[in-house]
Amino acid sequence: MKMFANENLYDPIIDYLRSLGHDILSIREAGLSGISDDQVYQLACKEKRVIISMDKDFSRIFRFPPKGCEGIIVVKIYKRTVDETLRIFKKYYQDIKEKDIRKNLIIITPEGIRIRRAK
């Protein structure tokens, strides 16, 4: 799956996703640090990539409709160490199917996964 990692996403999560075979374009690695959320969304739509971010603003579906790009994953795991965040992410990400991500909003929290399906 092609993904666009926002600059606030922890590197170990990016590395984990790559180890699963995902094609990850990282904002930091692409030299695009500092671009706006709107630019992130536009680039992801243009390149047909899933946005993955720790920025809760991407859960605002009227501003960033997941059906406009390939989908959005928001990692809402805050106030934890990077290692703990990665552990929680892995625990829940393994249960998500590609069809659940496509054109939908996925929110991963310490309590589990929520999927807001496109209408």
Q: Domain spans of the chain?
A: 2-116
How many other β-carbons are positioned within 10 Å of the β-carbon of residue 119?
5
Tell me if residue 75 falls in helix, strand or coil: strand
Mean pLDDT per segment of 10 residues, for the chain of length 119 residues? 95 97 93 92 95 96 92 96 96 94 96 89
Q: Quick check: 48 and 93 in contact, CB under 8 A?
A: no
Task: Round to whole Å and give the CA distance between 102 and 106.
Answer: 10
* pLDDT, position 118: 75
* pLDDT, position 91: 96
* pLDDT, position 64: 95
Can you give the pTM of this predicted structure?
A: 0.95
* pLDDT, position 68: 87
* pLDDT, position 85: 96
Please give the CATH architecture assigned to the domain spanning 2-116. Answer: 3-Layer(aba) Sandwich (3.40)
